[in-house]
């Protein structure tokens, strides 16, 4: 096949293990669902955090996590370990009908409390689906359920699902995208659409993140700058306000016995409706979003393994001299979790330039009258356009 690299790793020898659930037509493109076996090895740790096996313990964990004197760093580690395993990662690969962006692939990583559906709203998708808008703009896009969410594996919430492992999974997925393996998987599907036949591997890859997915994306481009051509960071900015609202604002309950309940082991918590509004919505409730958008956000919520929170510090403040592409920080004006409700004037451009000293461009944009979940607000498409305009200005 044209444009393919020779298989030479475990990953390639296990292509047959991946399965495609379905193919679908979109107004501006075509999508396939993939279940991908990803082998990953990363440093991990046993953290001194509470167990969560019921609603009382879920609230107690949130209070523990939000307490000012609770250590959030290496001082909270009991024992350093290593995690090495093969994980099933569910993904969706979409390609545009009109490839106006010459093979640029976006890899989008969602945040906590959601899975990849965050990027692909089925509620008024013409207004709220980032996937639909991205296809219309001429880009291919890969979205995936992070480990512990959606249709990906749901392993141990304390000692397995941790930040360094998730960044390694993102690295492996990126390598699969860049060398064409993911497109091989799409083509080999027994129900593959013609659009997936003979696809060249991407010419460039742009990494897009939201919230914890932006923690991962910002650390990824800092550590693996040669694997990315540009980045979009939404719902994240390192500042004194980051996470200052605390985990009690999530209004969590134990996922296995919540309403609805989820098939998750010990240590997975899930937001109640009030927590979803607290964290993800902002602006004037009469103009920024609708009750239907809030209800949809509640319908697609996902449990969170608490090991993510204990290990998140590994992703913060990574120095990235190897990153040489453009990066845009797209901040919702009224992001409560990131900016404590007001992102205007919060960005420190000097600090961002010091973090990525060789970036070709660093931009901070504010999306008006919008909360943490940018796609689920009334002016979502205007926010999407800010992204495409930035990428276009920088040849992506």
CB atoms within 10 A of CB 198: 12
Q: At residue 13, does pLDDT exceed 90? A: no
How much is the pTM? 0.93
Radius of gyration of the chain, Cα coordinates, nearest whole angstrom:
20
- Tens-place pLDDT, residues 248-266: 999 999 999 988 899 999 9
- Tens-place pLDDT, residues 292-350: 999 999 999 999 999 999 999 999 999 999 999 999 999 999 999 999 999 999 999 99
The three-point CA angle 208-326-177 to 5° equals 45
Q: At residue 364, does pLDDT exceed 80? A: yes
Residue 10 is predicted with a pLDDT of 34
Q: At residue 18, does pLDDT exceed 80? A: no
- Residue 268's contacts (CB-CB under 8 Å, 6 or more residues apart) are 52, 148, 154, 157, 254, 255, 256, 262, 303, 304, 305, 306
Residue 189 is predicted with a pLDDT of 66
Residue 23 is predicted with a pLDDT of 56
Tokens of 278: 């607290």
Q: At residue 52, does pLDDT exceed 50? A: yes
Q: What is the mean pLDDT of residues 155-181?
A: 97
SS (H, E, C) 153-165: CCCCCCCCCCHHH
Burial of 97 (0-12, 13-18, 19+ CB in 10 A): middle
Q: What is the mean pLDDT of residues 147-168?
A: 98
10-41+82-240+316-393 has which fold? Rossmann fold (3.40.50)
Using 50, 70 and 90 to split pLDDT, how confident is the model at 38? very high
Residue 22 is predicted with a pLDDT of 53
Tokens of 377: 């607000």
- Tens-place pLDDT, residues 67-112: 999 999 999 999 999 999 999 999 999 999 887 787 899 999 999 9
DSSP letters, 320-371, are: -TT--SEEEEEEETT-HHHHTT--TT---HHHHHHHSTT-SEEEEEEETT--
Q: What is the mean pLDDT of residues 230-238?
A: 97
Residue 230 phi, psi dihedral angles, 5° rounding: 170, 165
Residue 4 is predicted with a pLDDT of 34
């Amino acid at each position: 096949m044209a444009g393919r690299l020779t298989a030479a790793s475990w990953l390639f020898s296990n292509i047959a293990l991946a399965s495609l659930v379905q193919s679908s037509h979109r107004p501006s493109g075509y999508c396939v669902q993939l279940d991908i076996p990803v082998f990953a090895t990363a440093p991990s740790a046993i953290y001194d955090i509470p167990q969560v096996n019921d609603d009382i313990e879920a609230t107690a964990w949130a209070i523990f996590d939000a307490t000012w004197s609770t250590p959030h760093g290496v001082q909270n580690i009991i024992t350093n370990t290593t995690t090495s395993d093969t994980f099933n990662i569910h993904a969706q690969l979409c390609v545009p009908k009109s490839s106006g962006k010459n093979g640029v692939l976006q890899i989008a990583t969602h945040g906590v409390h959601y899975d990849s559906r965050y990027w692909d709203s089925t509620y008024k998708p013409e207004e709220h689906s980032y996937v639909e808008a991205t296809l219309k703009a001429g880009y291919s896009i890969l979205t995936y359920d992070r480990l512990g969410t959606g249709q990906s594996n749901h392993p141990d919430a304390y000692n397995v699902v941790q930040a360094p492992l998730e960044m390694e999974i993102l690295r492996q997925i990126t390598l699969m995208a860049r060398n064409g393996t993911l497109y091989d998987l799409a083509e080999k599907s027994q129900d593959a659409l013609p659009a997936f036949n003979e696809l060249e591997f991407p010419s460039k890859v742009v990494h897009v993140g939201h919230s914890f997915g932006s923690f991962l994306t910002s650390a990824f481009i800092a550590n693996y700058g040669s694997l990315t051509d540009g980045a979009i960071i939404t719902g994240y900015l390192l500042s004194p306000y980051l996470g200052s609202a605390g985990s009690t604002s999530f209004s969590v309950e134990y996922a296995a016995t919540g309403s609805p309940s989820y098939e998750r082991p010990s240590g997975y918590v899930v937001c109640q409706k009030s927590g979803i509004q607290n964290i993800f919505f902002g602006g004037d409730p009469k103009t920024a979003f609708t009750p239907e958008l809030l209800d949809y956000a509640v319908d697609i919520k996902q449990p969170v393994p608490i090991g993510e929170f204990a290990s998140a510090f590994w992703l913060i403040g990574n120095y990235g001299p190897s990153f040489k592409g453009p990066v845009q920080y797209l901040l919702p004006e009224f992001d409560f979790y990131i900016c404590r409700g007001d992102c205007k004037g919060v960005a420190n451009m000097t600090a961002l330039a010091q973090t990525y000293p060789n970036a070709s461009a660093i931009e901070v944009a504010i999306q008006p009258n919008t909360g943490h979940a940018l796609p689920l607000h009334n002016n979502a498409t205007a926010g999407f356009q800010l992204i495409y305009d930035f990428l276009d200005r920088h040849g992506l």
